[in-house]
Amino acid sequence: MALLDILVYPDPRLRRKALPVECVDDEIRQLIRDMAETMYQAPGIGLAATQVNVSKRVMVIDHSDERNELQVFINPVIRSRRGETETEEGCLSVPGIVAPVKRAEEVTVTALDSEGRINEYTASGILAVCLQHELDHLDGKVFVDYLSRLKRERIRKQLLKESRNDNVAATTDRAVAL
């Protein structure tokens, strides 16, 4: 297993639209293991392949307290959305920043698992938020895109400055690090 580097906003590679996985093979399973290790170490509760500079539609989530319920979503598609909720979100690619984002309260998602089987999930609460957040990453979208232009610009400048100064990266509370 290997720890992968997480891209930090405003890295332009976070804007790429990830490509569907054509075959769930050992290479994809290795990617999943590395992404899971990276997510647990960060620590965060979700990670999309885009964030580790792999342009494939793969994401991992574990929102359990014990950190022992890894969920894998390959080629995920949101089939339906219901309701609205606002949650304080953070992101491993936007260290140290949290902000409220409005999303659907409940989503139904289909995705392949690590054996290539298709599954359907109906999720609410933090899992629903996390699924929408990670799926955005696969489409080149970051949660700061939902904030005002002014706030986004402030965050962009702050993170650029931190990267230039080579500061120790700020971390976000795991509870909201998606």
Please state the closest distance from residue 117 (CB atom) to Ni ion, in A: 26
Fill in the per-residue mask, 3 to 42: x = in contact with Ni ion (CB under 5 A), - = not in contact: ----------------------------------------
Segment contacting Ni ion by CB under 5 A, of 85-93, 120-128, 156-164, 167-175: 85-93
* Residues contacting 164, CB < 8 A, separation 6+: none
Please state the closest distance from residue 130 (CB atom) to Ni ion, in A: 9
**Residue 52 vs 111, nearer CB to Ni ion:** 52
Q: Strands 71-82, 106-112: parallel, antiparallel or unpaired by DSSP?
A: antiparallel
Quick check: 98 and 176 in contact, CB under 8 A? yes
Distance CA 76, CA 171 (A): 27
**Residue 49 vs 74, nearer CB to Ni ion:** 49
**Residue 9 vs 114, nearer CB to Ni ion:** 9
Q: Which of 7, 97, 107, 178 binds Ni ion (CB under 5 A)?
A: 178
Distance CA 139, CA 155 (A): 21
> Of 96-125, which residues contact Ni ion (CB under 5 A)?
none
Please state the closest distance from residue 26 (CB atom) to Ni ion, in A: 27
Active site residues: 134
Give me the amino acid identity at 177: A
Quick check: 143 and 133 in contact, CB under 8 A? yes
Interaction of residue 91 with Ni ion, rule CB under 5 A: yes
| SS3 track for 103-168 | ECCEEEEEEECCCCCEEEEEEEHHHHHHHHHHHHHHCCCCHHHHCCHHHHHHHHHHHHHHHHCCCC
Please state the closest distance from residue 93 (CB atom) to Ni ion, in A: 5
The residue ranges that bind Ni ion (CB under 5 A) are 91, 178
